[in-house]
Structure 1
Amino acid sequence: MKTPADSATAGSNTAPVLSIAVAINPRAAFGGKGAASPGHTGELVVARLRAAGHTVTVLRRRDYHSLSEAVDTEISAGADALVVVGGDGMVHLGVNAVAHTKVPLGIIPAGTGNDAARGLGLELLNPGAAVEHFLTCAQGKPRAVDLGRIERAGEPPRWFMGALSAGFDALVNERANMWRWPTGPMRYNLAILRELAVLRPLSYALVVDGRARHQRGVLISISNGTSIGGGMKITPDAKYDDGLLDLFVVSPVSRSTFLRIYPQVFSGRHTNRPEVSIEQVTEVVIDAPGLVAYADGERIGPLPATVRVDPGAALLWA
């Protein structure tokens, strides 16, 4: 396999012809064919990449596990780049496929959250602009970014682009995933209301950069990016290439106080509140009995887990 970074700067004025695997959110396989759906956006992306002269392999599967396997197969077979079409779940799939390879990742936002794309400054509602941006980036050297690396006993490591969450937002995700109805954003909104009704502080055992401590709080996130949940700027000063993660904690608060803090997170105005702490770290061991962690909105599994920064672990054309 030729190295994309080398072929893109080989001294020719002609852009290199690349072998690009395009992975499309599997939900599109269940009838998502509207103008804003990942399926429709994927068709536009594939057509534009082929029009630019690249060789494109389209990957659609009925579920994320099957799609992940297909992506791994294409990368092993020599794909020069991977492009994911979807939201943060697809970015999660993508970074786990390309971590510690020389294969750059491109991101075409087509999800509901798009927090990774938001943090990278990509246009969220303009897939045409996103694919043109990718084509421009693919003529130069890819950008190296940090990832969060998750290690749990007996399992291979997993990486995340945005944040690992273990608290209120993880509980909301867990509850929403248990329900089959309603579908769409309404299910998540109802899960928020249900968790608010039983909001309570959680007890965590942490080891932060080698120092053990007990922490009580309603929300803990270990963040590599700036936002979660479709624009909640939990760590607005986080950077993808500083070799650090940001530990975000909301201390025990009443339901009314939590509801006052919650809307402030979307603007980043929460950072000066006394109930909120943010500290830069390189490694966190986190445990809380019975609590399940999520990363990039994807279920990781029960705690404990060790989360550490993995500097320069992925290459992006984004």
Structure 2
Amino acid sequence: MTGTPKRLAVAVNPAASFGRNRAVGPAVVDRLTREGYDVTMLREANVELLRREAEQAVALGTDGLVVVGGDGMVSLGVNLVAGTDIPLAIVAAGTGNDLARGLDLPFDDPPLSIEVLVDALRRAPRRIDAARVRHGALTTWYAGVLSAGFDAVVNERANRMLRPRGPSRYTLALVRELLIFRPRAYVITIDGVRREQRAMLVSVANNRSIGGGMRIVPHADLADGALDVFIVHPLGRVGLLRVFPKVYSGTHVEHPAVEFVRARSVRIEASDVVAFADGERLGALPVDIEVVPGALSVFV
């Protein structure tokens, strides 16, 4: 194990994928221990307690942070190690697993994810970009996508739903919101250039997908030093219903209502619009976003 991390903190979401994958965390710890690593398992009753435990583990010193769960756990990990030299590893065991998809890691096979993790730990970590968001007095990091519009409203509804237990929950939430959603008035400042417009949604992407594989920005690159602003201009319900199924395959990019703009910094303002980053609720707009090239070290 010369040159590889020796001490690993493993943060586990026992409710990942609605509890269906609660055995994955102990399996990860068992396998890493058998591989000779000094493993600290972090597993608490709720995410806030888990975050505190993980913060303490990182503060005490670790050679790597492994998160077991979905994009909520990835968000927890990113916010602990972005801007540091502590690498992040992902064992995908959640519902969406979008950053795992973006990193070409297994996203629907936990046993394979464990094998890939063991192999990845033997290699040098890779640097990818992360985005830093200032919202109110707070600063939050994300590695995937910030949503502020129709997709954020869908995310909020999906988070309140108990069923179905899988990515189809997002699809059902989407269909329900289609019945009532209207375009919003935005002020978007991209690299210092201000624009006022109405839009169905505004997303700022570092990764390709959200919602368990919806390829909203299929050309996004995690390590290109830039973000991709994704805007859907006003559409009626029928028009939006025609566009959104294409998002799953990434074939929406040529639609006349769809716009992409590369950026290093973005400010989004709007009334009555909530922002989500990596599926986690940030709160009401405005938000200020900047890309930080190479801010995140990951085992892949």
**Please, what TM-score do these two structures have when normalized by structure 2?**
0.94
* Contact 2:10 2:40 (C-alpha < 8 Å) held by counterparts: yes
One-letter amino acid of the counterpart of residue 10, structure 2:
V
Structure 2: how far apart are the matches of 1:124 and 1:145? 19
Identify the residue that residue 150 of structure 1 maps to in structure 2: 133
Residue number among 248, 252, 273 corresponding to 2:230 in the alignment: 248
Structure 2: how far apart are the matches of 1:45 and 1:215? 48
* Contact 2:5 2:64 (C-alpha < 8 Å) held by counterparts: no
One-letter amino acid of the counterpart of residue 66, structure 2:
V
Q: What whole-Å deviation, never above 9, does each CA across 1:84-108 have from its counterpart, x for those lacking one?
A: 0111111111110111111110000
Offset, 1:17: 5.9
Identify the residue that residue 12 of structure 2 maps to in structure 1: 24
Listed as ranges, the gaps of 5+ residues in structure 2 are: none
Structure 2: how far apart are the matches of 1:288 and 1:263? 26
Offset, 1:219: 1.2
Q: 1:274 aligns to what SS in structure 2?
A: coil
Identify the residue that residue 71 of structure 1 maps to in structure 2: 54
Please, what is the CA RMSD of the aligned residues? 1.9
* Contact 2:128 2:222 (C-alpha < 8 Å) held by counterparts: yes
Q: Does 1:114 align with 2:86?
A: no
Structure 2: how far apart are the matches of 1:57 and 1:120? 25
Q: 2:272 aligns to what SS in structure 1?
A: coil
Q: 2:106 aligns to what SS in structure 1?
A: coil
Query: CA separation of 1:189/1:74 partners in 2, compared to 1, >3 Å: closer, same or farther?
Result: same
Query: CA separation of 1:8/1:106 partners in 2, compared to 1, >3 Å: closer, same or farther?
Result: farther
* Contact 2:18 2:165 (C-alpha < 8 Å) held by counterparts: no
Matches within 5 A, 1:85-100: 85-100=68-83
Identify the residue that residue 252 of structure 2 maps to in structure 1: 270
Identify the residue that residue 262 of structure 2 maps to in structure 1: 280
Q: Does 1:308 align with 2:290?
A: yes
> Which 10-residue stretch deviates more, 138-147 or 240-249?
138-147
Identify the residue that residue 191 of structure 1 maps to in structure 2: 173
Identify the residue that residue 237 of structure 1 maps to in structure 2: 219
Listed as ranges, the gaps of 5+ residues in structure 1 are: 1-6, 10-15
Structure 1: how far apart are the matches of 2:172 and 2:114? 35
- Residues paired across the two proteins, number: 299
Structure 2: how far apart are the matches of 1:191 and 1:216? 23
**Please, what TM-score do these two structures have when normalized by structure 1?**
0.89
Identity between Structure 1 and Structure 2 (%): 44
Q: 2:113 aligns to what SS in structure 1?
A: helix
Offset, 1:42: 1.1
Offset, 1:135: 2.1
